[in-house]
Homo-oligomer: A and B are copies of this chain.
Amino acid sequence: MPGPLMGPLFSSPGMRQVWSDRGRLQALLDFEAGLARAEAKVGVIPQRAAEVVSRLCRAESFDVEAIGRAGAESGNLAIPLVARLTALVAAKDRGAAGYVHWGATSQDAIDTGLVLQIRQGLGALEEDADRLVRALVGLAGRHAATPMVGRTWLQHAVPITFGLKVAGWLQATLRRRGQLRRAGHAALVVQLGGAAGTLAALGEKGPAVARALAAELALDVPELPWHAHRDRLADLGTALGVLVGTLGKIARDVSLLAQTEVGEASEAAASGRGGSSSMPHKRNPVACAVALSAAARAPGLVATLLAAMPQEHERGLGGWHAEWETLPELFLLTSGALERLAAALGGLLVAPERMRSNLEMSLGLVMSESVGMALAPFLGREGAHALVETACRRSMEEGRHLRDVLGEDAGVGAHLGREALQRLFDPETQLRASERLVREVLARLEEED
């Protein structure tokens, strides 16, 4: 959980709120209040007790530092929190104090509180993801037909359009948003099992209390308590991890496009943003750095959630605790990367003229595939490949356009006229194919809306 110094770089303000110490306390208290109301509804505790408890469950009344210290002794936060809450209740209504946390165990409060925070976190991510999707839809539409060079292995390959690159980013973002929704929804279940997951302390009324609590908190009821089965949370963590990986892919591309030698796109310069303390001319791609650092960190955090899964028996030791900071960090990193990228792509400075000049810089080599395929029916696939490969080498060595080198080759002239050769170097087909793919992606998206 990044503090005030690092927080603003690595996360969004909304998400920091969700996972703040105050936010965590309140989530635990929301569980306690919901439990009291649910138990009153089902007739397990007096209505009046539920009212008193419910009214006092406000994080402002609790001393974060003191609960942190006491929680370190007891091994979890719920024990000192319940003790403090009980004291507050007792001060108002002695009788009601006995009904605080009735029949529940610490992990019930901690896990359900976590689920409540997760729900808030998912809401915040949804908004940021939507902003990113809108930015990408806009870019893809505007640049559906903007020619640029496609690059493989960091080498010029064949012409594409910038819109096609953006459409790839867009589709991946949509897939990850969808999976995050699914994994998030599956994780929104209440935890209520009592000491060992049987809810036995509530007798026959256990299941009814669980249902009422879920209704109070607008969560689902799981088939069984899940104290030592953390697969839903791990699944959610991996959905965040894969989303961050996709954001890292987008940021990798943008940072490469923004290189001084490439210059095809750059993050909008805001006052003071991305400057350098020593070099007045620098414009650093800060959003890309934030997303790439999230992409470097998320895999390790996801691995932690998975490594923590084999928890002992009905409630484990160590594995459960390893989740406590790890899942929040994943949310924070994801939100930071999403928010930054959404802003950066919303204001991306695109340089179509640099795209075009870069496309042309390799003297026709990017069209070598087309030429090779045109010659293959005459020379065989391998013969054609070899001929073109030789011509490419000469073109690079002599700094002459591949078309001109090929134009002098008798082997080529025998099969392709001057005009045919000329046509092969027109990237129009490539670009049309790219544009069509972009248009289809956008059309399908519009239909779905």
Please tell me if A47 contacts chain B, counting CB pairs below 8 Å: no
Question: A392 CA to B195 CA in the complex, in Å?
Answer: 16
| Pairwise interchain contact A322-B306, C-beta atoms closer than 8 A | no
| Pairwise interchain contact B74-A279, C-beta atoms closer than 8 A | no
Please tell me if A248 contacts chain B, counting CB pairs below 8 Å: yes
CB-nearest residue of chain B relative to A430?
A: B200
Please tell me if A122 contacts chain B, counting CB pairs below 8 Å: no
Question: A90 CA to B380 CA in the complex, in Å?
Answer: 10
| Pairwise interchain contact B153-A229, C-beta atoms closer than 8 A | no
| Pairwise interchain contact B228-A249, C-beta atoms closer than 8 A | yes
| Pairwise interchain contact A249-B229, C-beta atoms closer than 8 A | yes
One complex includes copies of this chain to the number of 4
Please tell me if A347 contacts chain B, counting CB pairs below 8 Å: no
Contacts of A200 in B (CB 8 A): 158-159, 370, 429-430, 433-434
Cβ 8 A contact of A68, one of B4, B288, B392: B4
Contacts A280-B385, A441-B223 given; does A9 touch B260 at CB 8 Å = no
A 423-434 binary contact with B (CB < 8 Å = 1; else 0): 000000110011
Size bracket, chain A contacts: 35 or more
| Pairwise interchain contact B282-A152, C-beta atoms closer than 8 A | yes
Contacts A155-B259, A245-B309, A361-B260 given; does A104 touch B4 at CB 8 Å = no
Interface of A is mostly: helix
List residues of A (81-121) whose CB comes within 8 Å of B's CBs. 82-83, 86, 90, 94, 97-106
A 116-150 binary contact with B (CB < 8 Å = 1; else 0): 00000000000000000000000000000000011
Contacts of A74 in B (CB 8 A): 272-275, 286
A 174-194 binary contact with B (CB < 8 Å = 1; else 0): 011001001000100000001
A 213-252 binary contact with B (CB < 8 Å = 1; else 0): 0000000000110111111101100110110111011011
Question: A320 CA to B290 CA in the complex, in Å?
Answer: 10
| Pairwise interchain contact B309-A388, C-beta atoms closer than 8 A | no
| Pairwise interchain contact B325-A2, C-beta atoms closer than 8 A | yes
Please tell me if A415 contacts chain B, counting CB pairs below 8 Å: no
Cβ 8 A contact of A69, one of B8, B152, B241: B8
| Pairwise interchain contact B313-A280, C-beta atoms closer than 8 A | no
Contacts of A230 in B (CB 8 A): 245
Contacts of A43 in B (CB 8 A): none
Please tell me if A418 contacts chain B, counting CB pairs below 8 Å: no
Smallest beta-carbon distance A251→chain B, Å:
7
Smallest beta-carbon distance A384→chain B, Å:
8
| Pairwise interchain contact B289-A310, C-beta atoms closer than 8 A | no
Smallest beta-carbon distance A328→chain B, Å:
9
Contacts A75-B274, A296-B318, A299-B304 given; does A284 touch B153 at CB 8 Å = yes
Please tell me if A422 contacts chain B, counting CB pairs below 8 Å: no
| Pairwise interchain contact B69-A172, C-beta atoms closer than 8 A | no
Please tell me if A18 contacts chain B, counting CB pairs below 8 Å: no
Please tell me if A352 contacts chain B, counting CB pairs below 8 Å: no
Question: A98 CA to B376 CA in the complex, in Å?
Answer: 6
Closest 3 CB pairs of A and B: A292-B318, A150-B196, A245-B309
Other than A106-B277, A281-B402, give 6 A-B pairs with Cβ distance below 8 A.
A8-B71, A100-B381, A153-B316, A235-B242, A249-B310, A252-B310
Can you pick out 12 interface pairs between chain A and chain B where the beta carbons lie within 8 Å of each other?
A79-B275, A106-B276, A154-B312, A158-B196, A164-B197, A167-B224, A194-B278, A195-B279, A234-B242, A234-B245, A246-B309, A295-B307
